[in-house]
């Protein structure tokens, strides 16, 4: 029994220490006009045979809010989400909705946390602004192998990446970028 207690305490300490790693991109204010920061970018994509929507909210201070849903499947649903007082600050609860971005002419890189068991690993995504209202976001594709593991192998003939198109939607009042994850 004593060994079980010591094992559980050790496990809790190891898991608790994993938490969030710092993001490595340098956060800078966005003074350019490659894309707009007065609303959000909306896109739809398929994942695991389900339809999802995604929104990216860029802030002038270099912060980024990135949300996905399989229930909010329209621009109107997302606008309602952002204006509903019940949800106004719900996105501040977890680090995996937040990140930062860096611009290089019309190209950009996003660095954010992602959700995983007992930790929030860092992921990077690259994108390009086709114009100020249309973005392309490049994603690596993982194929599920036996046992539930994912493979990013390029040895197969299947595509290993895809480009999601996101279009700008103006928002009268967008969510505040202050949170405990991005400083």
For the stretch 43-72, pLDDT in tens is 988 776 778 889 999 999 999 999 888 788
- For the residues 99-105, what does the mean pLDDT come to? 90
Give the DSSP per-residue string, 94-139. Answer: -GGGEEEEEEETTEEEEEEE--BTTBB-EEEEEEEEEETTEEEEEE
CA–CA dist 127, 56 (Å, integer): 12
- Reference 56, options 127, 131, 160, 141; nearest CA is 127
- Reference 101, options 143, 58, 133, 136; nearest CA is 58
CA–CA dist 150, 30 (Å, integer): 35
User: What pLDDT is recorded for position 143?
Assistant: 55
Q: Tens digit of pLDDT for each residue in 154-180?
A: 455 555 677 889 999 999 888 888 888
pTM of the model: 0.77
Q: Tell me if 73 sits within 8 A of 54, measured CB to CB.
A: no
Q: Which residue has the higher pLDDT, 5 or 86?
A: 86
Q: H-helix or E-strand containing 40?
A: strand 39-47
Q: 115 CB contacts (<8 Å, ≥6 apart)?
A: 94, 96
How many CA atoms within 13 Å lie on the side-chain side of 35? 31
Tokens of 75: 């621009």
Q: Which of 31-35, 57-61, 65-69, 106-110 has the lowest mean pLDDT?
A: 31-35
What ranges do the domains of the chain cover? 20-137+166-170
CA–CA dist 13, 36 (Å, integer): 43
User: What pLDDT is recorded for position 52?
Assistant: 86
For residue 179, what are the CA distances in angstroms to 25, 101, 103, 117?
Answer: 18, 16, 22, 22
Q: Tens digit of pLDDT for each residue in 113-170?
A: 888 777 788 889 999 999 999 999 987 765 555 454 444 444 555 556 778 899 999 9
CA–CA dist 164, 55 (Å, integer): 11
Q: How confident is the model at residue 18 (pLDDT cuts 50, 70, 90)?
A: very low
Query: Mean of the per-residue pLDDT values for the chain?
Result: 78
């Amino acid at each position: 029994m004593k060994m079980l207690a010591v094992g559980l305490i050790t496990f809790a300490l190891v898991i608790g220490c994993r938490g969030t790693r710092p993001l490595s991109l340098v956060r800078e204010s966005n003074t350019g006009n490659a894309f707009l920061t007065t609303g959000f970018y909306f896109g739809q994509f398929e994942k695991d045979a389900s339809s999802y929507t995604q929104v990216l909210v860029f802030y002038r201070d270099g912060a980024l809010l990135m949300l996905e849903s399989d229930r909010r499947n329209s621009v109107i649903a997302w606008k309602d989400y952002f204006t509903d007082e019940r949800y106004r600050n719900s996105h501040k609860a977890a680090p995996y909705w937040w990140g930062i971005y860096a611009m290089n002419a019309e190209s950009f890189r996003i660095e954010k946390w992602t959700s995983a068991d007992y930790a929030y690993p860092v992921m990077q995504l690259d994108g390009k602004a086709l114009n100020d209202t249309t973005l392309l976001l490049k994603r690596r594709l993982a194929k599920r192998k036996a046992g539930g593991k994912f493979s990013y192998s390029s040895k197969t003939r299947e595509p290993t990446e895809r480009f999601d198109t996101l279009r700008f939607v103006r928002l009268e009042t967008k969510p505040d970028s202050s949170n405990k994850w991005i400083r």
